[in-house]
Homo-oligomer: A and B are copies of this chain.
Amino acid sequence: MASEFWQGDVAELLRVDETFDLSAVDPSSTPGTTANKKGGQAELAASAQELRELQERLFAQSRAGAPERVLVVLQAMDAAGKGGIVNHVFAQLEPHGLQLTAFKSPTEEERAHDFLWRIAPRVPGPGVIGLFDRSHYEDVLIQRVREFASAEEIERRYGAITEFERGLAADGVRIVKIMLHVSPEEQAQRLSDRLADPAKHWKYNPGDVDERQLWPEYMDAFQIAIERTSTPDAPWYVVPANAKWYARVAVQRLVIQALQGIDPQWPDADFDVAAEQARLAATADLRWP
């Protein structure tokens, strides 16, 4: 089911490598496609079936003991479009095979533990696609910028994260880490739109402007975190996100490619099909009432 939409391998184009420089990524670009918004929306709808079938196979094979699962980590500045990714891409998945976790500011109890304490229990089980809407990367992003943790502790965390993710990969977790990258101009427009619409006020938080004022510090923190934690087992992808339609199709394709990498298969029946057909046939006369 090759797509006409993509002129290049979006995973290759967006995956971070050793030469990664966040400041060189244009948030308005659309790597891998020359389509426009209308084409993007059509592609998003057209690929839903492919995504769902791969998900169903992944879920099905786990019932027979296959360990594979997918974990998507989503990080971004406020108003970069995480919510839209959830509601337009992940909403295409079957709910039973999707586990979504939105990580908020840590509670008092969570702060009393190591930063990975609240993360580990939310890793998806076999057959499931997990999405972290924010994640353990907050602990090296906002916590670095705001100096909620010491420089030594932040430094320690990069290593702890790569160790943690290496263990997940060894257990069959395919990890896809995504930064949605918007420009400060685009963010300003989106926050302004939220303030202009009473039905969107609940999405606005005065803290969003506080963090916005630290934009360069956040971009530094992203650059360093991405450099330090991109591994073959747990690569980062930076997705230009000024065009919402592009971010959505790109993330959809990254998830599809992760599933294709697993190549899940319908499991063999663990029962005798002919015998079951006979047992079922023997109840054919059942009527009620």
Contacts and interface: CB of A to CB of B under 8 A. Distances in A.
Interface string A185-196: 100100110010
Interface in A84-130: 86-87, 90-91, 93-96, 98, 100, 102
A19 interface: no
A287 B86 contact: no
Given A184-B287, A185-B287, A288-B183, A280 B215 contact: no
Contacts of A87: 94-96
Interface residues of A, number: 54
A207 B271 CA distance: 11
Interface string A243-271: 00000000000000000000000111101
B288 A184 contact: yes
A108 to B, nearest CB: 18
A185 to B, nearest CB: 7
Nearest to A27: B288
A199 B287 contact: no
Given A183-B288, A286-B188, A202 B280 contact: no
B184 A267 contact: no
A219 B271 CA distance: 27
A251 B143 CA distance: 45
Interface in A180-230: 183-185, 188, 191-192, 195, 198-199, 201-202, 204, 206, 209, 212-213, 215-216, 219
